[in-house]
Chain A
């Protein structure tokens, strides 16, 4: 059916505007006090786009700053939203309340707001809360797991979850890369939808992948 095929081809890219939890976890590990980082992440749930199964290419660029060795703030920019003449921003803070010690992982909470603002038009605000635990495996590798959640009050579901696992590889003192696998909206049925998500789990949600890079600078990092 031509109608449906065309929608299936076009919508994943377009609707990706709404897949705002596509970005990688904001703060897997804390920054040192005064340290800054710039990060970019790219990816989302795997969907069929023009016959190819690819992660929806949602991009987020973020800056974060370490207020202390446990607490940080961040601000992010969503380039694809700008493509729709919508200003897409996220901002908030992170707090790591456990530091790795034996079997106890480093555990952090990241809370903030994602805001979409259409100049002269509508706005949409979504509070979010992420919890992430991480273990260092050697000098260069950190594995992490947790869940992202986003809240909406105007419609259902009120809570949009995304459990995740990921790995972060330290290329050098400044640069690290991460790959994250997420199960987006596990509480919702995958079909029928106008986007053909191709990696559901028991017809719920959509599995996706996000690739990220983070570059540290400033502070006492030297």
Chain B
């Protein structure tokens, strides 16, 4: 074999290798393109549709202590609003008898199910003497459309618009109250609007999508990597511009306090109007039960009234 022939021989395998390499890279890139619809948004929401009417006892989550007979039917007003893309959004206004001018709570509920589940909370707040408006995000209950960050924000804005437009509501007496995922909607209303509420109460709030990712993987990555929804209460904390109560369970294993409520309190450390209220032994969903309804009502009423807790 001549020297030239010997030097030429490896070139064909090398060429084949490079073609194979290019093929492998193409396959990897192709697989990646097939995956280009992965987003966390759909996992943020867990709605249950209501096909018939709200408050069907068979569809009510009894673990949330809905009593059903606390608020007279005559004081419950069904409301239809228009959310994103004019989708119909359903809600209920539980008014106080002769309640003109009294405090009204705008309640933004959590990730799961629909108004049926949270009605027990409406009952508690109503019993405390407040008018309460609760609404279902798009895709929840009877509300049309599908849930998304933009839709939830539009629904919250429509809900606020409705409350403020009522003749028996005084603008300065509106309180935003939110549980868990609803905290994104309440913080959006408070931070991103010029009109400020009387106060804001966040029960077991979530901090941000970035915090959610960090809780799972330790690494700090922007929430926008995972979701399209602009759900970031950490950023909004310094911009709330109103008295805020963050009430949270110390044993919350869903929105773990040190990665959510306490993160928000840290983000608001320069805001004297933001108060933390930890509840020993309470988990994500049982805070009023662990506190005792009487104590829960006392704390909420004291904060709304501007008294010390």
Contact = CB atoms under 8 A, between A and B. Distances in A.
Nearest to B24: A38
B40 interface: yes
Nearest to A44: B217
Given A2-B112, A15-B213, A194-B212, A217 B32 contact: no
A10 B43 contact: yes
Interface string A188-203: 1001111100000000
A118 interface: yes
Contacts of A11: 40, 43, 212, 216
- Say whether chain A's binding surface is mostly helix, strand, loop, or mixed: mixed
Contact of B226 (A61, A84, A157, A194): A84
Contact of B38 (A63, A84, A150, A217): A84
Nearest to B212: A194
A190 B57 CA distance: 39
Interface in B185-220: 212-220
B24 A3 contact: no
A124 B216 contact: no
A122 interface: yes
B150 interface: no
Interface stretch (B13-21, B101-109, B133-141): B13-21
Interface in A14-47: 14-20, 38, 40
B2 to A, nearest CB: 18
Interface string B26-50: 0010011101111110010010000
B305 interface: no
A8 to B, nearest CB: 10
A124 B222 contact: yes
A19 B224 contact: no
Contacts of B253: 4, 191-192
Nearest to B112: A3
B14 A152 contact: no
B43 A124 contact: no
A38 B112 contact: no
Contacts of A77: 28, 32
A98 interface: no
B216 A82 contact: no
Interface residues of A, number: 51
A170 to B, nearest CB: 17
A14 B35 CA distance: 12
Nearest to B27: A61
Given A14-B40, A38-B21, A84 B216 contact: no
A54 interface: no
A222 B13 contact: yes
Nearest to A10: B43
A84 B285 CA distance: 31
Contact of B39 (A6, A84, A118, A154): A84
Interface string A174-210: 0000000000010010011111000000000000000
21 contacts: A6-B46, A14-B40, A17-B225, A18-B214, A18-B218, A18-B221, A19-B217, A19-B219, A38-B25, A40-B24, A63-B21, A79-B31, A83-B32, A84-B225, A85-B36, A157-B218, A160-B218, A192-B256, A194-B215, A194-B256, A222-B10
Interface of B: 10, 13-14, 17-18, 21, 24-25, 28, 31-33, 35-40, 43, 46, 110-112, 212-222, 224-226, 253-254, 256, 284-285
